[in-house]
Chains A and B, each alone.
Chain A
Amino acid sequence: MRPNHVLLFIAACLLCLGLLCILLPHRVEVGTRTLRWPTLGEVFGNQESGVRSQDSEIFLDSLSDADSPESMDTLVAERAKPEIPRVSVDSVTDSRVFLGAFYASLAESGQKVVRVVHYGDSQIEEDRMSQQIREALQNRYGGQGCGLMPLAQTIPNKTVKQQLRMNNRPVQPAQGPRRYLVYGPKHDQRSDGRYGVMGQVAMMNDSLVRGSEELTAICTPLIPTAQYRRWRVFADTSIHYSFAGDTVRLSGHGAVYGLSQESETGVIVDNIPMRGCLGLVFTKMDRGQLERFYREQNVKLIIMQFGGNAIPFNENPGTISGIVKGLRQQVQYIRECAPDASILFIGPSDMARQVDGEWESYPMIPYMDRLLRKMALEEQIAYFSLFRWMGGSGSMLRWREIGLAGEDGVHFYRGGARKAGNAVGEWILEGITE
């Protein structure tokens, strides 16, 4: 073969591929799958290539900028697509006015525990984000300890390491007591709704633990900072049993709703992750149990961080709107269970997916974010828009690039979670007027 023969071959290939770009349809549906082929315009870069990002600037420093009416309007104008209904929101009200009950309760933190319960999806697993919120509040208002944790820690926590021992022999969490989860699959749910405040319960009588056997959970703080220095008093104990208020070893039968490591005064922040959960499960939880816990444990702030799990599976505004309606019911239910507590809703972060080989943000996030904000204002609860704080559509891609979020375009890395948690903590504290 001479070079000009090779050149002719290359030219023939390019020509044929070019013709295919002209002749073949851009998309063909074959059953459930879509076959795609680029247009010449896409090949030659007339359309945006690489990362599709409507708004990649990140304004990490201040949420107030993002909260301003101007930025809200711009956001709507830029992001709203024709098929997505426009949502008008009162953008003047600073939703932190709805945290008044919580702010007022902080004055009592020197005498007793003021409790914050942080519910969320996988974005807060391993004590992510909650840890920074806890640090921010405890630094100013005192308090030690990580708060509630399940009896058997199936998902390791970065703040407390837990070891289970049965009859003085270590066991894996999966070998421990039978768990029931309000957010789990059907076979892991129970009909009476008695999951406790964490939405999960460990049944000692169903487990391998029988009659004379004894279960010990050793919880060791993993953060040797000054903040948590006093935790070490718990390091060698077995179980700190929150509603018994004592350290116990467990034996026999019973339902264990959680363990807790905490001080007797100050702010305690509980991290309660519910993997894969849309946030529509609270109404399945026993009202009496929730009411009692929130009242007795002096819960003054309930943080709900949900919405992310609705995004990847729904492109229909009607479905998103339905999910937000469901979330509104959950908020109402929680408020009925804890009438004295403030509620803060944290919306989903920006999330990204790959389409036609290019990464882009999910189109429904801005819509859901605005619906949630509207719902929050109408229900008179505080709202923190994680999506807009990150920088809006496309920001997850920037976060990935700078090592704040994972390759999946959905979850934060530890650094990203730290940044987001700090931002929420500061935002809460900034709302306090002396």
Chain B
Amino acid sequence: MTTFWQNILGFNADSPLLFTQFYFWAFFALVFTLFALIMEAIPDRLGNRKLHLRNIYLLFVSWFFYYKTSGLFLLILAFVTLSDWLIAQRIKANNGRQMAKVWLCLSVAIDLGLLAYFKYAYFFTNMINNLLGTGFRVFDIFAYIGNGFAQAGRFSVDTIVLPVGISFYMFQVISYTADVFRGRIQPVKNILDFGFYVSFFPQLVAGPIVRAEEFIPQLYKPYHLSRRYFGLAIFWILNGLAKKIIMSDYLAVNLIDRVFDNPLLFSGFENLFALFAYSLQVYADFSGYTDIAIGVALLMGFYLPMNFNSPYKSQSPQEFWRRWHMSLGRWLKTYLYIPLGGNRKIGFGTYFWISLIALVSAALTGWWVWILVPTGALIVGIIVWDKVLQRSCLTGEAVEKRKLLYSNLNSFITQVLGGLWHGASWNFIIWGGINGIGMIVEKIWREMGWHLRFAAMTLLTTGLCLADYWTQLPVWRLFAVWAAIVWIGTAVRYVYFLRQGADTRWTKALSSAWAVLQTFTFITFTRLFFRSSSNLDPATANKVAWETAKNMVNQIGGAWNNQIIPAFVWEYRWVVAMFVLGMVIHWVPTNWKRRYRLAFSAMPLWLMVGAVCLAILVIYQFVSAEMQPFIYFQF
């Protein structure tokens, strides 16, 4: 029992409170007991005072939760809470004046400065070292202060530890000051209420990112949870646990981690399967966690925004980004894409970011001429084309072209910076960049006629096949096969178009399925650059991630071995079954999903208790399942 209380109440850096652990649920049961006491024991006539008490209680619970997860980094959370609360007051006081903008800039500088310090210190240090040939190392100034201005002491000054959830809560506080500046919300009068918004524990460490205008009004509303929403909350919690433990952890431990750790031990087919399974794992892991967060918050009467909407049903990369990590997508759109100009304009911000991305890329790769000259030409080309379009902007077509140009440039920058938000390393920037390019290509593709589409695809496929033939490099083989598959699809549709085939229900369904598969494949390919080992120092992790991607491409494009496929499927039948089941559930029509969610939420309570127990019983089987033994199929 002592261990039980220690695990719930004590701080241990190695065992944070995670939604998938029993201790979190014991913690939550205790928290909810007191929460219910406050809500039931204090009479409603006390109105706002009762709500304040609830908010203060949940604030301290959230801070305790964060302390359990991150220890003294709680002070960083408290600091940004204080600074942004104060700055928001100053912004309001200087409403409409230039000083409001200064205060906003100060707020953003503090928040992004802290984020850059904790998250990007290694990245920038490496970049400077690569650029100047220096040997700088990171130095943790906060540890130095914590040691009483000494290098040795309780804290290590040689490493900078990333506080859990900092990327999430920094974006929340930025959204708050920005919304106050824009006049969308009034500043929160009580700092404790504001602190509650920043640190509400279900979404503190992994989102969803809740914008101030969505959440702050809820602070002043009395507790309300309908019977249906209660059932939905329980459903989201169980759904999240199943996704996280059955789909994500099981697939990871039994196959994906092994392949990503040592791609060369596995054949091309195994690598490709692991890559697709990784796509499912990332989704199940992240969306499972946010599902639980949404369910837990709902039980306490707070509504968090939906974060994932079956993203692998998307028919284009653009649609994918509207369905994947929606709260981040909305944040980036509101606070980055639109301020950059959206599809209305390109200005200093757009050119600044393009130049900066090019400079950083050139500095890190050493390809100064190869990157800076085309980028310079691109910028000049954009300016000239923009001027030309401006002169002919009387026509509707020119207006549309300008919009497309602006939108493409600004969304590309948003994607690259969004990639950098996910992790401080090159592979995340590349990941963002590929996504940006994918979106642009898809938009251009949509604008093209069928003759042009077919010609372009034929040209591309021929080029890639020739590149494969002459170089025999796996990367060209991979692209050539992929292009050939897309070419077949394009050819079929082109022939159908030439024969003037009618759009029937079946052709539409086939066309949608084809688009979904293509998008899923594209997104899966980008995942090559999404994985980074958390147990390595950032510089090594970067190198390992790049090498992993390279080795996987080499295996997929070069070491394909059809003979082992049946043996692999048989030996890994449970892993394969879980993957197939996961994808089938994912692709179940939304209406069906809505129906079974509602059916669950309408269950009698006693039956729901039974369903909870049964679900936990099943989930536990996956927690405790024996590991798939290591099998080599290729020698």
Kindly report which residue of chain B lies nearest to residue A351, judged by CB atoms. B630
Q: Are B630 and A410 in contact (CB under 8 A)?
A: yes
Kindly report which residue of chain B lies nearest to residue A125, judged by CB atoms. B264
B599 lies within 8 A of chain A by Cβ: no
**Bound Cα distance from A395 to B598, whole angstroms:** 49
Chain A neighbourhood of B472, CB < 8 A: 169-172, 175
B540 lies within 8 A of chain A by Cβ: yes
Knowing A17-B616, A20-B613, A156-B264, the reply to whether A313 touches B621 (Cβ < 8 A) is no
A-B residue pairs, 8 tightest by C-beta: A45-B3, A406-B261, A407-B257, A276-B632, A3-B36, A170-B472, A357-B623, A184-B635
**Bound Cα distance from A185 to B624, whole angstroms:** 32
Given contact pairs A7-B33, A156-B551, A275-B265, enumerate 12 new A-B contacts (beta carbons under 8 Å).
Answer: A1-B227, A1-B229, A9-B605, A16-B609, A45-B1, A156-B554, A175-B472, A354-B253, A355-B627, A411-B262, A413-B261, A415-B540
Which stretch (A29-37, A74-82, A264-272, A425-433) binds chain B?
A29-37
Near B by CB (< 8 A), chain A positions 1-20 give 1-7, 9-14, 16-17, 20
Q: Are B3 and A6 in contact (CB under 8 A)?
A: no
Q: Are B258 and A155 in contact (CB under 8 A)?
A: no
Q: How would residues 261 to 279 of chain B score, 1 for a CB under 8 Å from any chain A CB and 0 otherwise?
A: 1101100000000000000
Q: Are B14 and A50 in contact (CB under 8 A)?
A: yes
Near B by CB (< 8 A), chain A positions 150-187 give 154-156, 169-175, 181, 183-185
**Bound Cα distance from A414 to B541, whole angstroms:** 12
Q: Are B616 and A14 in contact (CB under 8 A)?
A: no
User: A residues near B, CB below 8 A?
Assistant: 1-7, 9-14, 16-17, 20, 34-38, 43-46, 49-50, 122, 125-126, 154-156, 169-175, 181, 183-185, 188, 275-276, 312-313, 353-357, 400-403, 406-408, 410-411, 413-415
Kindly report which residue of chain A lies nearest to residue B623, judged by CB atoms. A357
Point out which of A9, A34, A170, A181 has the most chain B C-beta atoms below 10 A from its C-beta.
A9
Chain B neighbourhood of A400, CB < 8 A: 535
**Bound Cα distance from A15 to B112, whole angstroms:** 46
Kindly report which residue of chain A lies nearest to residue B558, judged by CB atoms. A172
Q: Are A36 and B262 in contact (CB under 8 A)?
A: no
Q: Are B544 and A353 in contact (CB under 8 A)?
A: no
Number of A-B residue pairs with CB-CB distance less than 8 Å in the complex they form: 157
B332 lies within 8 A of chain A by Cβ: no
User: B residues near A, CB below 8 A?
Assistant: 1, 3-4, 6-7, 14-15, 22, 25, 28-29, 32-33, 35-36, 39-40, 223, 225-227, 229-230, 234, 252-253, 257-258, 260-262, 264-265, 299, 470-474, 533, 535-537, 540, 544, 551, 554, 558-561, 605, 608-610, 612-613, 616-617, 620-621, 623-624, 626-627, 629-630, 632, 634-635
**Pick from A1, A14, A181: contact of B226, CB under 8 Å:** A1
Kindly report which residue of chain B lies nearest to residue A51, judged by CB atoms. B14
For the residues of B in contact with A, the DSSP-based class is helix
**Pick from A16, A38, A174, A402: contact of B559, CB under 8 Å:** A174
**Bound Cα distance from A13 to B22, whole angstroms:** 13
**Pick from B15, B473, B537, B609: contact of A9, CB under 8 Å:** B609
Knowing A36-B621, A312-B629, A353-B627, the reply to whether A2 touches B551 (Cβ < 8 A) is no
Q: How far is the CB of A294 from chain B (nearest CB, A)?
A: 24
Point out which of A169, A402, A408 has the most chain B C-beta atoms below 10 A from its C-beta.
A408
Chain A neighbourhood of B14, CB < 8 A: 50
Q: Are A154 and B617 in contact (CB under 8 A)?
A: no
Q: Are B620 and A36 in contact (CB under 8 A)?
A: yes
Q: How far is the CB of B531 from chain A (nearest CB, A)?
A: 11
Q: Are A188 and B620 in contact (CB under 8 A)?
A: no
**Bound Cα distance from A261 to B433, whole angstroms:** 41
Chain A neighbourhood of B258, CB < 8 A: 406-408
Q: How far is the CB of A92 from chain B (nearest CB, A)?
A: 36
**Bound Cα distance from A407 to B544, whole angstroms:** 13
Chain A neighbourhood of B257, CB < 8 A: 406-408
Kindly report which residue of chain B lies nearest to residue A36, judged by CB atoms. B624
Chain A neighbourhood of B629, CB < 8 A: 312-313
Q: How far is the CB of A358 from chain B (nearest CB, A)?
A: 9
Chain A neighbourhood of B470, CB < 8 A: 169-170
**Bound Cα distance from A154 to B29, whole angstroms:** 56
**Bound Cα distance from A316 to B475, whole angstroms:** 45
Kindly report which residue of chain A lies nearest to residue B6, judged by CB atoms. A45
**Bound Cα distance from A46 to B22, whole angstroms:** 14
**Bound Cα distance from A354 to B249, whole angstroms:** 12
Kindly report which residue of chain B lies nearest to residue A7, judged by CB atoms. B36
Chain A neighbourhood of B613, CB < 8 A: 13, 16-17, 20
**Bound Cα distance from A154 to B474, whole angstroms:** 13
**Bound Cα distance from A413 to B25, whole angstroms:** 35
Q: How far is the CB of B378 from chain A (nearest CB, A)?
A: 33
Q: Are B230 and A1 in contact (CB under 8 A)?
A: yes
**Bound Cα distance from A7 to B36, whole angstroms:** 7
Chain B neighbourhood of A125, CB < 8 A: 264-265
Q: How far is the CB of B601 from chain A (nearest CB, A)?
A: 11
Q: Are B29 and A174 in contact (CB under 8 A)?
A: no
**Bound Cα distance from A50 to B18, whole angstroms:** 13
**Bound Cα distance from A37 to B620, whole angstroms:** 7
Point out which of B474, B540, B613 has the most chain A C-beta atoms below 10 A from its C-beta.
B613
Q: Are A155 and B264 in contact (CB under 8 A)?
A: yes
**Bound Cα distance from A173 to B635, whole angstroms:** 13
Q: Are B223 and A3 in contact (CB under 8 A)?
A: yes
Knowing A16-B609, A44-B3, A172-B474, the reply to whether A357 touches B624 (Cβ < 8 A) is yes
Kindly report which residue of chain A lies nearest to residue B245, judged by CB atoms. A357
Q: Are A50 and B265 in contact (CB under 8 A)?
A: no
Q: Are A7 and B32 in contact (CB under 8 A)?
A: yes
Chain A neighbourhood of B7, CB < 8 A: 45, 49
**Pick from A20, A169, A403, A406: contact of B537, CB under 8 Å:** A403
Chain B neighbourhood of A14, CB < 8 A: 25, 29
Knowing A1-B227, A38-B620, A357-B624, the reply to whether A170 touches B471 (Cβ < 8 A) is yes
**Bound Cα distance from A11 to B260, whole angstroms:** 42
Chain B neighbourhood of A154, CB < 8 A: 559
